[in-house]
Each structure stands twice: as C-alpha cells, then as structure tokens.
Amino acid sequence: MLTENLARAFEKDILKLKAEISSYPDESKLWITAEGISNSGGNLCLHLLGNLQHFIGGVLGGSGYVRNRPEEFSLKNIPVSEMCVTAEHTAQVVAKTIRSLSAGDLEKNYPEKIMDNVWTTEYFLLHLLAHLNYHLGQINYHRRLIG
C-alpha cells in the first residue's frame, strides 16, 4: 500500500538527516554559512523537522505540534544530540501518522491550502518527501563545503 511505502521512505530519509548532521566533523560548523549560501545545515535541519512535525504530525496526525517557522532559520547552536532526538521523534510521528491514513484519506484534499493551492493529501505527501530530499542534499553539500 502507498501509505506503507511513504512511511518507510520518510522514516529512512529522516534518519538519513540525523546521520548527515551527525557527520559534521565539528558541531560548530553545522551553523556556519558560506558566501552565496543563506542557510546553515543546522537551520535546514530545524526547518525540515518543523515542516514535517507541522504538516504531517500536527495537521494530519493531530499531535498538537505548534510550528515557529522563523525560529527554524534564526536559532543557532542547538546541540546535535538534541536535534538527533528530535529527528528520531519526528521519524516516529511521521511514520505513525502516515500509516494511519487510508486510501480514501490520501484522495481527500489536504486540510490546509498550500501556496494558495488545493492539493490532495497524497500529492502533498509526495511534495513533502521531495522537499525533504532537496534540503537533505543541500545539507550534504554544506557539510562537504564547510568541512
């Protein structure tokens, strides 16, 4: 079923995010920005975790998560160990929420408008997975550039 495949893909890639941020040779380098790069690897990680906790955990799963998007880009020097715990929690919440969805749920419109568009839940979950992987690639590049 699609929900099982999506849950597994999100889980795998969120745990890859954990591995990426843990691979920085020096934790302080996670927060550096280089010329021409506006976001650090740490802030991209916070952004991804907030995004998934909000759109999947909060909106679809009713977790009660309250997102503070500006802080995802302004907070600095969060310990990697703390972000890893958050990543593991996010992977669990996301996978559990997606596995709870029926085929009918996927066909329904996502409960919130996204960029002034109405999308099905299925389409939006695919969009979120692509968004996760886009930024995951940026974090990998940032780690190698800064490292």
What's the token pair of residue 141? 């590049």
Give the Cα separation of 51 and 83 in Å (integer).
14
What is the architecture of the domain spanning 2-146?
A: Up-down Bundle (1.20)
Q: Read off the pLDDT band of 34 (50, 70, 90).
A: confident
Q: What is the pLDDT of residue 1?
A: 83
Q: What is the pLDDT of residue 63?
A: 96
Closest to 18 in 3D by CA, of 8, 30, 6, 5: 30
C-alpha pair distances (Å), 54 with each of 26, 49, 107: 29, 8, 20
Mean of all residue pLDDT scores within the chain: 97
Three-class SS state of 33:
coil
pTM of the model: 0.96
Q: How many CB atoms lie within 10 A of CB 114?
A: 13
